[in-house]
Each structure stands twice: as structure tokens, then as C-alpha cells.
Amino acid sequence: MDLGLTNRVAVVTGGSEGIGKAAAASMANEGANVAILARTQSKLDAAAEEIRATARGEVIAISCDASSRESVDAAFAEIIAKWGRVDIVVNNAGQGGPGGIADLTDEKLSGDFQLKVFGAVYCSQAALPHMQKARWGRIINVTTPGGKAAPGGTLPTSMSRAAGIAMTKAMSKELASDGILVNTVCIGTIKSGQHEKRWEAAHASDSSITLDDWYEKIGQPLPMGRPGEAHEAGDLICFLASEKASYITGTAVNMDGGSAPVV
């Protein structure tokens, strides 16, 4: 199936690993030119090299702090200088920050919102004039099912993800007449760097626990009995970015193996 992404220009934040890297790879395989953004240049360079091995489009790696408007504007200026346009933005920067209300500090709350919500705003605003000029665009915000139905002990992430879902719906209403479609993918338990860090902590206490053991354990409570693969999330994001998703906007798609208590 041709998804119609050849020569489209995509920007993926948090693109050096996990879901961001998988989404970038999926779009590059479809012929899109992709800029991956994250803070650490060495990780970005390694990810870009890996993606290029199978890509039909070009791939560039730009160090960028998505929580900083100045950093975002500089990165987008570099992308525009190279390709002259931005068609797709995947706002993926950030990871889970579990905790309870008693432990929620100003620093944790403001930091979470600055990266996940403000960062998505900065990137969307940087791309918007180019999408409006072309009368074509795709913005995909990566959130979680916890933004719809928050379990206990998920602050501040469930708060910022709820804001991301609300922002998605509002943007979709505002931008549809410009040909810009805005959706969010609500990510559940997916194999990623943050889960590997948790395994490393468990492995340090008990060296017999392998990474496969860890993923098997966290997958057992899920309806499908396993965690998702990063490429499964990446392929969904790629589809929503494509011509084949031309009548889908304002949606919040659960990508969680059936674990969310809400649709």
C-alpha cells in the first residue's frame, strides 16, 4: 500500500529512541524526508544511521530541547532551510512521570507540562504557517490512555496527557478548514527505553531477571498478554500522517493492547 508520503517532510520530537525513532523509521521507509529531534546528539546520530539503513527518504538529526521555544524555532529554521517545508509534526517528546498527589512538587509539575504540552505547542506553531500555506498538514500528539481515565499514582503525567488530548481536539476543530488534520495516539505499555531503565534497576537487585523476563511480567496483566513493540506504535503514527488517513481528525486512538477502561 502506497501511503502517499514520498517527499513529505516530517519532524519527530523524542526521535532518538523508542516510539519516536520507530515512527521516523516508518515514515522514512515510506519515502518521507524526516528530521528527528532530541536533546542528545550522539543518540540522535546513532538513531539516524539506523533509520537510513532502510529509508527511502532523507533523514537528518538535530539536537533540540522541545521545552524551549528558542531551541524549537532554531531547529525548524534549519529544517525549512534544507527542505523548504514541514508537512508532518509528531509531538512525542517526554516520558512517564508516575507519582501521587502528596509527592507532586512545583518542579515536577511545571517540568512535565513544559516539555509535553508547551513543547507540543511550540512545534505545532513553528510548523503551522508552512502547513497553512500548503493547505495540507498532519499533527500527531503522543499521549496516554491515562489522559482519558487516570489511575492513581500517575501524576503529573496523566494531567499533562489530558491537556494534550484536549489540545488535540481543539486544534482539530480550528485547523480542519486549512487541510490540517490533528490526532493523538494514546500509548499504553510499549517496549521502550524507560521500561529498560526500570528493568536495569530490577536487574541490579536480582541479576537473574532478564529483559525478556521483565517484558513478560509487565505484559501478563494486559488483555493481549504482552507489551507492544515500538514499531507497532510507529506504524500507526505513520498511517495517521499519511494520505490514507485523509478523513480522520480530532481522534484519540488507544494503542495499548486493550488495557484502557475507556474507548
The HSE-up count of residue 75 (CA atoms within 13 Å, CB side) is: 32
For 7: left if phi > 0, alpha if psi spans -120 to 50, otherwise beta; the answer is left
Q: Which residue from 119, 101, 98 is spatially nearest to 13, judged by alpha carbons?
A: 119
Amino acid identity for residue 172 in this structure:
S
Mean pLDDT to the nearest integer, 178-195: 95
pLDDT band per the 50, 70, 90 thresholds, residue 231: very high
How far apart CA 18 and CA 260 sit, in angstroms, is 21
Q: Which residue from 36, 31, 30 is spatially nearest to 7, judged by alpha carbons?
A: 31
Q: pTM (2 decimals)?
A: 0.97
Structural domains of the chain, ranges and CATH numbers in brackets = 9-190+229-255 (3.40.50.720), 194-227 (no CATH)
Give SS3 for 48: helix
pLDDT digits (tens, 9 = 90+) for 26-58: 999 999 999 999 999 999 999 999 999 999 999
Residue whose C-alpha cell reads 476543530 in the numeric block: 173
Mean pLDDT for the chain overall: 97
